[in-house]
Amino acid sequence: MSLWLNGIGVSRGVAIGRAQRLHGTDLEIPERTLQVGDIEHEITRFYGAQRRARDELRAVREQIPPGTPGDIAAFIDTHLLMMDDRSIVDTTIGYIRSAQLNAEAALKKTRDAMVAIFDQMDDPYLRTRKDDVGHVVDRIQRVLMKQAQPTAALEGAPKFDIAEPTVIVSDDITPADIILLSQQKVVAFITEFGGPLSHTAILARSLGIPAIVGLRDARKWLRDGETVIVDGEQGHALAAPDAEALTFFKTKQAKLAQDRATLQLLRDKPAISKDGVKIRLLANIESPDDAIHAAELGAEGVGLYRTEFLYMNRKDLPSEEEQFEAYAKVVSAVKGPLTIRTLDLGADKQVDSGARLGPTPNNPALGLRAIRLCLKEPELFRTQVRALLRASRFGEMKIMLPMISSVAEYRQAHAFMAATRIELEREGYKLAPDVPVGAMIEVPAAALASPMLARECQFFSIGTNDLIQYTLAIDRVDDEVNYLYDPLHPAVLQLIQRTIESGVRAGIAVTMCGEMAGDVRYTRLLLGLGLTEFSMHPANVLEIKRAVLDADVKSLQAQVLRLLASADIEEQQALIAAL
């Protein structure tokens, strides 16, 4: 009898294989009180486990095949850095000494404290980075407890039959596990936890492996060895399929494979609609390697480069020189425009630089964060702005300010940057003659005030992820309410339209860098709203390009005008379906 299960589809494609459950991911942490004379021995034992876990991870890093997307290696590099992070190491040793706890219990206490901080973060993407903490701590814990990593048997392959296509079913999968498994005959992943921004989702998309996350109790419902079909777009898993279902999904699988091959032919083709409208397709990146990979997939530049990673998982603030080197490297690697977003951290995500920036707020999403924090802590902002402006001479850089909510806020930030430029020029630095400064439109107030902001800003970038959740007052990472996350809500569409129209009237570029920009289901709608610059994960560029090539923008704009004028929900849905 077939069994139909539903989760969150995060990596498109269809895979058919035998289920293999990983049960080694759940740990029962022992806790005991140490005798005073045992404390130093326990600290030594912890250091030994940390070193061995680091060596294991380095071995995985060396197994990454040449040509693998850069973001995969970046995740492993992040975990290697975290192995030596004082927030983990010093805090754990502190618990061993002060509470006389064994290393396993002390490490668990450290993890719980760090996860609690990440859970308070307002940015959904950064909040899911608590996975990093869990994966690093878990690897050290397994060494301490003398337990093999969940994929250890798969690595040697004596226990599991990996000679045929396999669907891995687990509660979670680390980046290191994904690298090892992707080199074997693993065709899909199913995890019980996680969301669209989890590591499993991001890496599966980069590798082109179908994946479903958030499929609760998957290991309970699926049995080892049974055939499972995974539809990574729809989020469906079908166990023990009948002959008819197998035929249907094999046909769909073949069509998707042919479709991917066809998409590659579009790589060097300009993104111009049927009626001659030129559309710019950009990429969201996190490293210089990502920039190279994006260009290979047809991206014309970078619409979003996040800088928060320079600040996370460390005790001190990055220096001006460290930031300059990082920015100069990525600017030099990008052919075309590069939009760098300034620091998007908050008081809830601060590094320990010797003084706290204030207590963690009850609602950090509405608290001191992003541009608000930068303006309140001018030395923090000044260091980053100096590094950015110094790196501007190496390419076509634009600077984007996150969470702008008013004209006054933008003016204050822009004046600060102008003063910093004068300061650098007096010191003899060579800078690009013009570095456009724009605003990220992710707060409803900014979208509503976009006609006024457009007269001040040099460009807009719409961050749909936050704009949608702020507009609808829901947290899309919260399983209890994320069903309300609706990019097609009339209020969201009107805010997007207003922002685009304001930019057009003022003669400034308007880009969209949220997930909506990289989802082909919304491409025709966004073209109809007047969007001409899309920024997305590099893997989505060619599919969006095909949608652009097949579109008649003027016709779509007329259809969207009717959609926005409609007050009937059923009519709205019909008009969206007809686009």
Q: Which amino acid is at 333?
A: A
Answer whether residue 348 shows pLDDT above 50. Answer: no
DSSP 8-state symbol, 269: S
Nearest-angstrom CA–CA distance, 364 and 349 = 9
Query: For 150-164, what is each residue's pLDDT tens digit?
Result: 665 454 443 444 568
Residues 6+ apart with CB under 8 A from 251: none
Query: For 40-89, what is each residue's pLDDT tens digit?
Result: 999 999 999 999 999 988 888 887 776 666 666 777 888 888 888 888 99
Query: For 468-508, what is each residue's pLDDT tens digit?
Result: 989 999 876 666 776 778 888 999 999 999 999 999 999 99
CATH 3.20.20.60 given to domain 274-578: yes
Q: Which two tokens stand for residue 443?
A: 């707060």
pLDDT at position 364? 56
> Which of the residue ranges 47-61, 88-102, 347-361 would you say has the lowest mean pLDDT?
347-361
Q: Which residues of 89-105 are buried (b: 16+ CB within 10 A; e: fewer)?
A: bebbbebbbeebbbbbb
Q: Which residues of 432-471 are buried (b: 16+ CB within 10 A; e: fewer)?
A: beebbbbbbbbbbebbbbbeebbebbbbbbbbbbbbbbbb
Mean pLDDT, the chain, whole residue set: 87
Answer whether residue 127 shows pLDDT above 80. Answer: no
CATH 2.60.120.200 given to domain 36-144: no
Homologous superfamily assigned to 3-23+150-249: Phosphohistidine domain (3.50.30.10)
**Catalytic residue numbers, as ranges:** 199, 513
Answer whether residue 450 shows pLDDT above 50. Answer: yes
Query: For 304-344, what is each residue's pLDDT tens digit?
Result: 998 887 887 666 889 999 999 999 999 998 989 999 999 98
Antiparallel, parallel or unpaired: β 337-341 and 302-305? parallel
Q: How confident is the model at residue 354 (pLDDT cuts 50, 70, 90)?
A: very low
List, edge to edge, every strand of the sheet that includes 186-191: 3-6, 236-239, 227-231, 14-21, 166-170, 186-191, 211-213, 8-11
Answer whether residue 38 shows pLDDT above 90. Answer: yes
Query: For 536-570, what is each residue's pLDDT tens digit?
Result: 988 889 999 999 999 999 999 999 998 888 877 78
Give the closest residue to 541 by CA, choosing from 256, 230, 336, 268: 268
Q: Where are the domains of the chain?
A: 3-23+150-249, 36-144, 274-578
Q: What is the pTM of this model?
A: 0.73
